[in-house]
Chain A
Amino acid sequence: MKLILKVVLAGAAGLFVSAGLASAQSDTLTTVKNRGMLNCGVGTGTPGFSNPDDKGNWTGLDVDFCRAVAAVIFNDAAKVSYKPLTAKERFTALQSGEVDVLSRTTTWTMSRDSAMGLSFVGIMYVDGQGLMVPKKLGIKSAKELNGASVCVATGTTTELNLADYFRTSGMTYKPVVFEKVDEVNAAYDAGRCDVYTTDQSSLYAQRLRLRNPDDHMVLPEIISKEPLGPAVRQGDFQWFTINKWVYFALLDAEELGVTSKNVDEMLKSTNPEVRRLLGVEGEFGKGIGVDNDWVVRIIKGVGNYGEIYERNVGPNTALKIARGLNNLWTKGGIQYAPPIR
Chain B
Amino acid sequence: MAVTGIAARAPRRTPSLLDLLYRPEVRQVLFQIILIIALAALFWMIISNTAANLRRQNIASGFGFWNTTAGFDISQTLIPYTNTSTYGRVFWVGLTNTLLVASIGIVFATMVGFIMGIARLSTNWLIARLATVYVETIRNIPLLLQLFVWYFAVLKTLPPPRQSLELVGGAVLNLRGLYLPEPLPQPGFQIPLAVLALGVLASIAIAVWAKRRQRLTGAQFHTGLAALVLIVVLPAAAYFLAGAPLEFDYPTLRGFNYTGGIVVLPEFLALVLGLVIYTGAFIAEIVRAGIQGVPKGQKEAASAIGLSTGQTLRLVVIPQAMRIIIPPLTSNYLNLIKNSSLAVAIAYPDLVSVFAGTVLNQTGQAVEVILITMLVYLSLSLFTSLLMNWFNARMALVER
Contacts and interface: CB of A to CB of B under 8 A. Distances in A.
Contacts of B160: 191
A117 B71 CA distance: 21
Interface string A123-137: 000000000000001
Contacts of A235: 56-58
A159 B49 contact: no
A89 to B, nearest CB: 9
A105 to B, nearest CB: 15
Given A8-B39, A177-B347, A190-B152, A24 B50 contact: no
Interface string A170-190: 000111111110010011001
A313 B270 CA distance: 37
Interface stretch (B121-129, B357-365, B390-398): B357-365
B345 interface: yes
A114 interface: yes
A88 B366 CA distance: 11
A177 B364 contact: no
Interface string B30-70: 00000100010011001101100110111110000000000
Given A146-B255, A190-B152, A25 B364 contact: no
A95 interface: yes
A24 B73 contact: no
Contacts of B255: 146-148
Interface in A115-162: 115-117, 137, 146-149, 154-156, 159-160, 162
A164 B71 contact: yes
Interface stretch (A11-19, A72-80, A271-279, A300-308): A11-19
A194 interface: yes
Interface string A88-109: 1001100100000000000000
A191 B50 CA distance: 45
A177 B358 CA distance: 9
23 contacts: A11-B42, A14-B43, A18-B46, A95-B59, A95-B364, A115-B60, A154-B357, A155-B357, A155-B360, A156-B361, A159-B358, A162-B72, A173-B73, A175-B72, A175-B74, A176-B347, A177-B349, A178-B347, A192-B175, A194-B256, A194-B257, A234-B57, A235-B56
B259 interface: yes
B259 A147 contact: yes
B302 to A, nearest CB: 40
A47 to B, nearest CB: 22
Contacts of B308: none
Interface string A14-48: 11011001101100000000000000000000000
